[in-house]
Amino acid sequence: MSSNLDFLKTSNPQVENTVEKKSEPVVPNVHQKDCEDAEKKKLEKKINFLKNIKKGIKKEKLKEKTAVPASETIENDSLKKRDRKKWLGSYKMLKIESPHQITLAGRKRYSVKIYYLDNEGKKKSKTIRFGDKNQQEFIDNHDLLKKKSVVSRLQNVNDPFNKSFWRLNLLNNKDNLLDSYTDMIKQLGLY
């Protein structure tokens, strides 16, 4: 066989060059290195993702182990942390402070503090913040059409613990805040 290769080398110079190139080691180009780096990064991301999933599963298992048995849970499971207190008809309104304008950063314009007696006869208070700083109300623009559209969209207007009650009765009732406040106090029988 060596004689056949020698024959090819001497007769054809192009074949001679190709045979020599095959024997040389192949050097990877820059594009291949970039692709390999990208593949390594993808694999690292997948590994980290799987580790995080494992951590999450471990946390859930710990929660299950430390969970309170169903017999010891609160009676009403439907109550959540952010559930708002509702006004009950059996509560008795004691006093309503005049609304104060909020000067701190935030979206609400006014705050009002109410004092009431709960079902057990305990005196309690609650502060309600209402009125968006970015919206025009009836006390600002005296526009009856806008007032009607705002009033039609309000919900829970009979619940003094709800901001819609105060928005309707103070900001969309009379021409100014003081007149609205005195009118509401008279209607509630606190004056």
The answer on 173 and 108 residing in a single domain is yes
Report yes or no on 145 lying in a domain.
yes
The answer on 178 and 109 residing in a single domain is yes
Query: Is pLDDT at 22 greater than 90 in this prediction?
Result: no
Place of tokens 């959540």: 80
* Domains identified in the chain, total number: 2
Q: Where are the alpha helices (DSSP H) in the chain?
A: 2-11, 13-23, 30-66, 138-141, 144-153, 163-166, 177-188
Q: What is the pLDDT of residues 62-80, one digit of tens each?
A: 566 555 555 454 445 444 4
Report yes or no on 35 lying in a domain.
yes
The answer on 172 and 96 residing in a single domain is yes
Domain span at 47: 2-65
The answer on 181 and 137 residing in a single domain is yes
Report yes or no on 82 lying in a domain.
no
Token pair in block for residue 39: 């593949």
Q: What is the pLDDT of residues 106-131, one digit of tens each?
A: 888 999 999 999 888 899 999 999 99
The answer on 98 and 45 residing in a single domain is no
Report yes or no on 80 lying in a domain.
no
Report yes or no on 85 lying in a domain.
no
